Structure 1
Amino acid sequence: MADIAPDLKTPTDLPRNDTRSVADALNSALADCYALYLKTKNFHWHVSGPHFRDYHLLLDDQAAQILGVTDAIAERVRKTGNVTLRSIGDISRRQTIKDNDREFVAAEDMLSELRDDNLKLVESFRVVKDAADAAKDNATSGIVDEWTDQAEERAWFLFEASRKG
């Protein structure tokens, strides 16, 4: 991470080097949140089939929840005196969740892919948790638990919605 402009140096009692490792982990998770948000909206817009309404609404709810987390993550980075993502290019360089640009994706495949992506996001949040604990950044450590729980719940809902009766 580049040095921070003097005007952006937010006061913090956390050591600068420790907060940088937490900020790097948070920014990686943030990039994955944006990638997952856009993929979820893509699938929301393009889902079809006999469960259209249920899946359409489920994916819209999940996308809104993911988008809600993005601001909290970025603000946490800034509260620790660091800088966060600035562009789509920045997101694409950091994201680990793969885009899906296929013209058609079957509904069952959408649910499965999003389930796996949410579990990948959980892994990203665990990296954040470890970095925050190592830095004694209690606030980040505490709040990331809620984000993890939300991603696990989304994965569970997607799993249950995809089960064949």
Structure 2
Amino acid sequence: MTAVNSPVPEADIKATGEVLQGALVDLLDLSLIAKQAHWNILGPRFRSIHLQLDEVVATARTYADTIAERSSTIGVPPDGRAATLARHSDVAQPPDGWLQEHAVVELLIDALAGTIRRMHERIRITGDTDLVSQDVLLGLTAQLEKHHWMFQAEHPRPQ
């Protein structure tokens, strides 16, 4: 028995809950990775990238809360505990210590790209299970893609 009952069909709740939990893990870890880079970046473009990282953190934290609340709304308790992130995150991780600006930019390009790929799969799944959750994921993914573009513009990779 759940504490919250939703009019969404039970099978759709289960699938959507799994999607939302995966998105929550990605977003919470992305916010931590961006903050880690924010604190440890070195280089001539320190300030501009430092501020850009804060924008990624703000997006990730805002949408993490929205995703977690959507999960609660459909009757699935969200799990944002550190142990859960450690077990389930697939987001690219930074090395220990100071990070040169080019390494930070590459880290964010990779972390965002992986997160975006997983979000596109989640969007596909929720197209069949819960259009309201899909709408949240669409807005989130648009923001992540914008951050990805901006980091790529900081450090274009050879074609």
Q: Same fold (TM over 0.5)?
A: yes
**1:56 is aligned to 2:56:** no
Aligned equivalent of 2:132, options 123, 136, 139: 139
Residue 89 of structure 1 corresponds to 83
Residues 1:150 and 2:143 are matched in the alignment:
yes
Distance in 2, matches of 1:131 and 1:124, equals 11
RMSD over aligned CA atoms reads: 1.6
> In the TM superposition, what whole-angstrom CA distance separates every residue of 1:16-59 from its partner, at most 9, and x where no partner exists?
12111111111111111111111101111111111111111111
Answering whether residue 36 of structure 2 is matched by residue 42 of structure 1, we say yes
Aligned equivalent of 1:126: 120
The answer to whether the 8 Å contact 2:35/2:57 transfers is yes
Deviation at 1:105, TM superposition (A): 2.3
**C-alpha distance in 1, partners of 2:45/2:155?**
10
Matched residue type, 2:110: D
Counterpart selection for 1:32 from 26, 43, 46: 26
The residue type equivalent to 1:152 in the other structure is E
Q: Distance in 1 between matches of 2:140 and 2:21?
A: 14
- Residues 34, 56 of structure 2: 8 Å contact kept: yes
What is the CA-CA distance between 1:92 and the residue it aligns to?
1.6
User: Distance in 1 between the 2:52 and 2:58 partners?
Assistant: 10
Q: 1:163 deviation in Å?
A: 4.0
TM-score with structure 1 length normalisation? Answer: 0.88
8 Å Cα contact 2:93-2:107 kept in structure 1: no
State the AA in 2 paired with 1:106. Q
SS, match of residue 154 in structure 1? helix
Residue 155 (structure 2) aligned to one of 155, 158, 162: 162
| Runs of 4+ in structure 1 over 3 Å off | none
Classify the secondary structure of the residue corresponding to 2:42.
coil
Give the conservation status (yes or no) of the 8 Å contact 1:39–1:99.
Answer: yes
Of stretches 12-21 and 144-153 in structure 1, the one that deviates more from structure 2 is 12-21
Higher mean alpha-carbon deviation, 52-61 vs 94-103, is at 94-103
- Alpha-carbon shift at residue 132 of structure 1 (Å): 1.2
Map 1:109-124 to 2 at 5 A.
109-124=103-118
Q: CA deviation at 1:86?
A: 4.4
Change (3 A) 1:23 1:152: same
Give aligned-pair identity as a percent.
22
User: Which of these residues, 7, 18, 26, is aligned with residue 12 of structure 2?
Assistant: 18
Alignment coverage as a number of residue pairs: 157
**Structure 2 CA distance for aligned equivalents of residues 160 and 99 of structure 1:** 21
In 1, the alpha carbon distance for the partners of 2:14 and 2:99 equals: 39
TM-score (norm 2): 0.91
